[in-house]
Amino acid sequence: MTNYKLIIAYDGTRYNGFQRQSKHPEKTIQGKIENVLSQLFEEDIQIIGSGRTDAGVHSKGQVCNFHTKKHLSEESILSYMRQYLPQDIAIIKVAIASERFHSRYNVVSKRYSYTVDNGYFADPFALRFAYHVPETLNIEAMQDASKLLLGEHDFKAFTSLKSKTKSTIRNIKSINIVKNGDKIIFTYEGNGFLQHMVRILTGTLLEVGLGTRKIDSISDLLANKTRCEAGPKAPSHGLCMEKVTY
C-alpha cells in the first residue's frame, strides 16, 4: 500500500464544505477529490482531511492523505488531478508520505485567517473572501482582548452548541490582528480549533472592536463557558484555513 499526502487550496464559495455528504457528494471538496482519484486509481479511494471546513470556507493549505494498492508517480497524479478537478480546487502538492502518516491524528498546529473588509463600501474584488464591516473598529481594543484568549483554555463558550466533541480544551498559540489598507486580517494559530471556534472568536472580537463589548468580558466567557454570552459567529466566507503543521 502507498500512502499519499496532498496539499490543497480551494475557493469554498460553491461548496457545502469539505466533508463528503452522502446526498450530494459532488457538492463537497472531499467528494470532488475522491471522485477524480477513484477514476485515476480504478479503485474506491477515500481521503482523510486534516479537518472539516464549513460551507463557504476557503483553504490555502488543507492536507489530506489516502492509501492505494497501485503506485503512481506524484507527477502523474498531479497532472491528472489538475486536468479533471474544477478550477476552484487546486492541488498544490502530491507527495508519498510515511506509511503511518495520518493527516488528522498527526496535526501539531493549525493556522486560520479571517479577513474583514473595513472599507466604507464593500470592495467588489473581495466579496468572496472578506466579511464587510463598514463601521469603525478599534483595532487596539481587539488586540488587547485577543491576548486574554492565548494559552490553554476551555473554549466551550466559543463552539457550536451542536458540537459533540468530548474535550473543549484547546491551546491558542497566537492571535495577530493586522490592518492592511481597508482589510483587517485576524490570524489564529493553535493546536486545534473546535467547530465554528474561529468564526465565534472573530465575531466576539468584532464586538469589542465596535465598542459593544467590554474587553474583560472575554475572561468571563472563558470562565462561564456559556455560548449565548459570546458573540455571533462571523460569516463563513471571511475564513481561510492557511496551514497545517505536523
Residue 191 beta carbon to its own copies: minimum distance, rounded to whole angstroms:
27
The verdict on 181 binding its own copies (CB under 8 A) reads: no
Written as one letter, the residue type at 91 is I
User: Between helices 139-147 and 197-210, what is the axis angle to 10°?
Assistant: 130
Instruction: Determine whether 220 is an active site residue.
Output: no
Q: How far apart, in whole angstroms, are the C-alpha atoms of residue 204 and residue 186?
A: 12
What is the phi/psi pair of residue 235, to 5°?
-60, 155
Q: Which of 54, 117, 182, 216 is catalytic?
A: 54
The verdict on 129 binding its own copies (CB under 8 A) reads: yes
Written as one letter, the residue type at 19 is Q
Per DSSP, the three-state class of 151 is strand
Select from 19-27, 115-123, 150-158, 193-201 the region that touches its own copies (CB under 8 A): 115-123
The verdict on 188 binding its own copies (CB under 8 A) reads: no
Select from 8-16, 170-178, 201-209, 228-236 the region that touches its own copies (CB under 8 A): 8-16
Identified binder of its own copies from the candidate list 44, 75, 83, 124, rule CB under 8 A = 124
Nearer to its own copies, 14 or 52 (CB): 14
Nearer to its own copies, 121 or 164 (CB): 121
Identified binder of its own copies from the candidate list 36, 57, 63, 91, rule CB under 8 A = 91
The verdict on 10 binding its own copies (CB under 8 A) reads: yes
Residue 236: all three cell numbers together? 463563513
Q: How far apart, in whole angstroms, are the C-alpha atoms of residue 243 and residue 61?
A: 5
Q: Are the beta carbons of 213 and 33 closer than 8 angstroms?
A: no
Identified binder of its own copies from the candidate list 121, 161, 164, 180, rule CB under 8 A = 121
Select from 15-23, 42-50, 124-132, 161-169 the region that touches its own copies (CB under 8 A): 124-132
Q: How far apart, in whole angstroms, are the C-alpha atoms of residue 150 and residue 145?
A: 10
First CA to last CA across the chain, in angstroms? 22
Select from 84-92, 102-110, 136-144, 217-225 the region that touches its own copies (CB under 8 A): 84-92
Q: What are the DSSP calls for 172-233, one per residue?
A: EEEEEEEEETTEEEEEEEES---TTHHHHHHHHHHHHHHTSS-TTHHHHHHHH--GGGS-PP
Q: What is the largest CA-CA distance in the chain?
A: 58
Residue 51 beta carbon to its own copies: minimum distance, rounded to whole angstroms:
19
The verdict on 63 binding its own copies (CB under 8 A) reads: no
Identified binder of its own copies from the candidate list 23, 99, 100, 125, rule CB under 8 A = 125
Written as one letter, the residue type at 90 is A
Nearer to its own copies, 118 or 195 (CB): 118
Q: How far apart, in whole angstroms, are the C-alpha atoms of residue 225 and residue 227?
A: 6
Active-site positions?
54
Binding residues for its own copies, per CB under 8 A?
Answer: 9-11, 58, 60, 82, 87-92, 121-125, 127, 129
